Amino acid sequence: MSNESKRITLIFAIIVGAISGAIAGLIGDSFLNGLTSGAIAGGVTSLFFLNQPRSIEDPRIAVEAFSPAGLAGAVLASVITEAGWIGAFISSGIGGTLGLVLPALVITYLDKE
């Protein structure tokens, strides 16, 4: 995996983690703390996927990192912002789903150009 592909994977994972963390922050007590902690958790989670061996048939970026990044960002932000079980459940669901849908949206957008 090239350095550019690693950077792209890391950026998208941070975005997914930040969005799910921000949702937990909206439910909890601090939007900014949720956004920040979600971004950090998403980035750290994606690091586990960056050095996995990839074959020629695999996508260029590690799209399998996005859904766990969203889940980790939501869980950590729910704990930090005290969003409770409902906040953790809602933000984890949105973060995990966003992690599954985002690669399809990006591919669709890039295919148009």
Whether 32 has a pLDDT exceeding 80, the answer reads yes
Residue 45 tokens read as 């989670």
Cα distances (Å, whole numbers) of residue 96 to 17, 47, 54, 56, 112: 9, 17, 23, 26, 26
Structure tokens at 80: 């930090």
- Residue with more model confidence, 6 or 111: 6
Q: What mean pLDDT, rounded, does the chain reach?
A: 89
- Tell me the pTM: 0.87
Q: Which residue has the higher pLDDT, 35 or 3?
A: 35
CA distance 111 to 84: 40
Q: What is the pLDDT of residues 76-88, one digit of tens each?
A: 999 999 999 999 9
The whole-number pLDDT of residue 59 equals 72
Mean pLDDT for 23-49 is 94
Q: How many other CB atoms are there within 10 angstroms of residue 101's CB atom?
A: 13
